[in-house]
Structure 1
Amino acid sequence: MLTRLRLKNIKSYRDAEIHFEEGINGINGENGHGKTTILEAIGYILFDFLPNNKHQYLLRRGARSGSIELEFIADDGIAYTLRRKVGGSEIRLSTPIGEITGKKDVQDWLIDNLFPHLTDPKELSSLFENTIGVPQGTFTAAFLLRPSDRKKVFDEVLGVDEYKKAYENLRKVIKLIEEDLQELKDQQLILQTRTEGYERLKKEKIGLEAEIAQLAGRIQDSQKELEALKARREELETQQKLLQKVENELEVFERSKNATENHLARVKKDIERAETAEKLIAELADEKNEYEESEKTLRSLYARREERNRDERRVQELKHDLERLREKQQRKEELEREISRLNSEIEELLPLAEREDALNQEIERVENELKEPLQRLISEKRQLQQEQRRIDELKIKIETLKREKEQFLPMLQKQIGLTREIEEKSQSIAVIASEIRELQEGLAQAGEKNLCPILKGVECKEVPSFKTYFTREINKRQRILETIQTEHKVLQKELEALENPSEEIAKKDALIADAIQELERLEGIPERIRENSERLRVLSEKFQRYLELTGEAGDEERVKSILSELKKKLEALGDAKRELSKKEALIEEKEKEVGDLSEVHRQIKESEDKLKVQTSALRKYAGLDATITVIEAKVQKLKNSYDLYLQNKPIVERKTEYINEYKRVSNRLREEEARIERLTAEQKSLLASFNESEFQQTIKEVEELDRKLSRYQTSYNEKNHQLEKLQQELSRMKSELEELKRVEERLEEEREFYSYVSLIRDLLNTSGQLIVLELINQIGREASNIYCEIMDDHSLDLQWSDDYDIIVMEGGEERGFAQLSGGEEMSAALAVRLALLKVISKSDIMFLDEPTQNLDSRRRENLSQQIRRIHGFKQLFVISHDDTFNEECDHVIHVEKVDGESRVRTTIDQPL
């Protein structure tokens, strides 16, 4: 159920909120005030239906974007809010658990929860256009189409294609089942091939197991013999290793003894060299002490020379500082003279700068308050004039279209007559063709059994043959059929020559409606032209000392001329204000610099005093360089003796270390000689007990037996590997035999399923059209009842044919839809559409836009009462400028247009 609709910048609505109630909602107002816009907005947001499929059609004039917001309650009793932008792609659905965004996701939700009988979002638009919300002026349009076009429209509404789609969709299923069957057959063949040698392999396995048992016995005997030989080999090998170890140790100690003897000789030489160095440093001790004392004195003199050098650098720095300060004193005097000169120039520029300010303000005022507003007013005036010309063009266009439409009306009557005659001829052709087929069947039967043409199925023995009778009747009907077919072709050519005037009239009506709608959009233009003229008058009075405005393009040129004159006066002043600013900035800059130099005189006096003091302090360093030269010569003379002393002192200091090393090495030599003597005796003992030839023979026997055992083991492993592969192959075959059994069972199930699906597909192919024909008959009966109620004449009978044409029977006379009057057409179309909604629509809502078009007052009253009797809908929306329905409505919404804007004036709840 729809509860609330909000429109922002939608056609003639600026920002309006409309509330709906359960039951019949009447939407009442004058033509062009915005009633149908409510239906179009609901069609767009909920069903994705938009006339001409142009978003600009819905937008308010001048707006770049708009929005529609619809609140509704679904079958679960929960309120949802749907929002959609016009002029953009944004669409959102607010639910209690969050938001759904994106057109596809939102439409999928709508189908799942509101329109479950639909399968495709594309069906939403057709459902709205042809059943739920038929647009204004199109109630009868579908019934005036050619039979083939009419069939396309209502086949989609009744879901005729669903059976065809189901039949075609099952084609893919059949193909998939056939593919599965073939795949199972292929699997069956493969598995049968792969399991052919199962019994043969089982026998091979038994023989292989016996061979493996025999080899295992041989391997066990050989392993026992090999273990005994390996034990004797290990015993001899241990004796050999012990002898080798003794010989290796003996060799190591012999090499160590030779190295120790060499080390002892080197240590003895080191002791002799230390004793020689000890005598030398005793002789050089006095010269070494004198050298060190001179070095100490020289370091002290170097430090005093560095102090003198620092004092000399300080004197130079003071002289440089004094020179810079005297330069600053000169700069200060120059700056004071320049400041005085600039002050004189500023006094001369002040009057010119004031005049420049006044001209700049006037130019700015003309630019902002005259030039720019004038440009906007002139541009707006041009646009409004174009719109006014468009209004005049539209009025002429409407009159022209009405005249053109009237020209087609005589042809329309002729088209209706020709169509009726063609249908009558078609029916006659079908009847005669059927009779010819029955006669041909009778001829065939008469030839075999001589059946009577009068008493059907009775064999006649009195008459020899009925062949002549049947042949004569067939020839007679063939001649009649050819005559009617010729007449049918002539009528068909005449109808085609008319070039479908009903379609041309429908096109003209649509163009007239579009032009009227555009006129309604432009109805505020004259008022806007008056507003533009008033603003132009006010602007002209404000600047009347310059010019009188007319609103034409020449005004802009005159304003440009005024601005040009003012700018020339400004240029003549020579930019005095900028010169004034520059000179004031220069004075400020120079005064700041003078301030920075205010202490320079005092700084000069302080620097001169410091320089005198520092120059006097340099006298205490006289003769320092000569003293340093004498001491440096003495140090150089003693340096060789000092270096020789330092070279020998480390040798003397290591004398004790050398003596101790000599004692330690002598002790180690004695220990090594004793160890060599013990190892020589042990070697002789081992050589007496070890037999080398026995050891080599044992190794040879172990290797031969090891190779024999390896051959046995290799053969054993190969047999075992063969057995393992054989067992794997047997296991695989056993598994595949089980799989073969499962495949054969699945193959049988798949064959049964194939038969079932084929049966269903055949049923869909044959029964779909029968179901639809029954549905057409049901809708036709319901439509006939509604039509009689509207027309207040129960002697009438309305039929809806299988090609979706409406036929009305009155007093035994049959009339097609095109032969009905305007009011009868509207009543019949309404009856069928209401019946469609009652029989097939699953929607709880329905819209009727101007349903009383072409109806007289009595039929309008009958229609309003019939609408009250429609059941199965939670909400019914009746949109009309006629107040006939107001008494039958549960809730009435009045729409009116004020200053070009549609507003919902009042909402009235009517008593039931």
Structure 2
Amino acid sequence: PDVQDISETIHEIIGEIKVKEELQHKQESLNAEIVSLTGNLTNSESESEVLKEKYKKIKKIKEQIDEAQKKLDELNIKSEKENENLRDIDNQLTDAKSAKKICDDTKEAHDKHGELSSNLEILEQEFEKLNAHKEDLRIKNENYIKKSTYLTQLEEVLKNTGTNEKKLPKLEKVNQEHSELANRIREIEATIAEINAKEEQQGKLEVRASSISNNIKNLEEKLSELPELVKKYKIVEDIELRIKDYEINVANLTNQLEFFQNNQEKINQHKCPFVDQTCKNLEEGTFDEDIFSNEIKTKEKSLQDIKKQIEKAKVEIHEKEILKGKMEVLEKDKITIKNYKVQHQDYQDEIKALKKVVGIKPQVIKDKKEQEQRKQSLEEDVKEYLIIKNEVEKMPKLKKEIAPLRLQITDYNKEIETIEVEIKKLGHIPKERIKTKANITSLSERNNSYILHIKTANKLLDIETKRQTIFNNLNETKSQSKHQGQLLADLRPKFDKEEFLSIEQEVSGTDQNIAVLKSQLDEKSKNLKENEAKLKEVSKKEKKLEGLKTQKARLNTLKSFLGKLRVWIREFVPKFRAALIAKINVIASEIYRSIREEEDAGLRWLQNYDIEITTSKSQKKFHKLSGGEKMAAALSVRLAILKSLANIDFAFFDEPTTNLDQTSRINLSKYIHNIKGFEQLFVISHDDTFKRQSEYVIKFTKDDQDITKIEVL
């Protein structure tokens, strides 16, 4: 940054830290408010504690009254419940006494009913055995019928199978063709699966080829920077060669300086610098003793200037390694592009081969459909073949089953005869069972009455005991109710409801006030922290300001040194400068006349670097010129210096309209258009003011993907 930039930054920071005093005042105010709020909060909390203590005492009496009332209500409810229980137990006692009388009257019938029920259980067992024999007889008969029917069917199957066996050779050929078709269909399906895999592979390869194509395009766009980098690298190499020339000059000047210093030392000893003897001219004072000291000063200054030029050149070549790195990356990108192109061609060849394979897929699918249709037409014959083949294979086994089956049928006949004998033995059981059931039914009403009331009758003693307990509990509850009523009567005079509600409201108000004070205190604390953060930021800016002031002082010292350096240079080469300025003045006058279109105008670049414009009517220094004249004069001098020192016929203007208003930009455009003496002029600008005055316009833009587009207008 230059001194002006640092001065502007210092001015900005000074403006920003002006708020420090205001922030400090605000912090003091916030601290005072926080102290005040803290005091108020402490007072409110103390007042709240006193009220809460008083509220606690009155609330305790209220709770005692509520508790006593609650217990009294519970005892009243308990007393009512125990009265109801006493009435219920009296009813149960009456029912128990009645039940005992009924049980005494029906006990004989209950005992007879039990004896008959035991006999009935034996008869039921015999009856179940009879039914089991009947069920077994039914099952044996069913099995006999099934086996007989199966024997008949078996003999029929053996007869039919002998007839169907003659069809088997013809159907076997159909089955073989069906199997071959199934194998062929599986092979076709495998082929289709392979084609699908190839088709998927083709899609992936096309995606990869597209990706590589995009990569090639992106790398080629990056590669467009290579010529410019090579050009910059060549410039840096030229600077390195210039440094070597400077170093040679340094060596020469160092040798010359040593020579003059040695001669000066001899002169100081009054010796001749050439013959190393006492010099009469020195003794007589006729020899110029300063001749070598002047040369030493000149050489030392030249040596210092060249060393500065070396340092400056070294600064300019610091980008060499960066440029070299970028060039190496782009050279690698060249190789990558070549490899990508080879890979892209390989993908294209492979895609072409895959397309040939994938192309036969429709024909393969058609073949599969035809084979499946033929296979479907043979399905019925194949099913018939499998059935007949299965029957023929089973014939030996079925023939073996006939003899055992006939033996089983004979055994079933014998078992049926045995079961029929057992059923005949148990034929009397159903009648005896019915008679016993009738007797039990006649006794059932009295037996049921006994069973119904025996449990109640057995509870008579327990009910009498329970009634006495309930009666005692009722008396105890009445005594407790009387005591609790007296306690409630003693507590009520001690409690004032209006006073309780008033204190309760005061406690609520105090709590709300404390909550508000805490909220305000939190808000002020937050504001205090924010203010402290701002003060810290101001302190940082103050430190930065001190650093900038130090930097500005160093730059001013450097600027002062450079000013002195310009004076030294001006004194060192006055004649060379005068000749160069005279040459520049001739060229600058020609350019100025062409720019301003004033044939009688002349421009002089003075020894003090001021500019003077002379016409037939006036003579004006640079500070008295108009804005347009100043712009034309400055432009003329710069172009004249360029043409004088570089001897070139073209010039570049990089963003020449920066910080100019619209009128100045239009004038500058016109002036550049009027310049003569150059083959080509190039203007690089974001401003389209030069568009109307230009022969060729090249426009650079970037789209949404950050890709540069070039248009020639």
TM-score band, normalised by shorter chain = 0.3 to 0.5
TM superposition score normalised by structure 1: 0.31
Determine which structure has the larger helix proportion and give its number: 2
TM superposition score normalised by structure 2: 0.39
Determine which structure has the larger strand proportion and give its number: 1
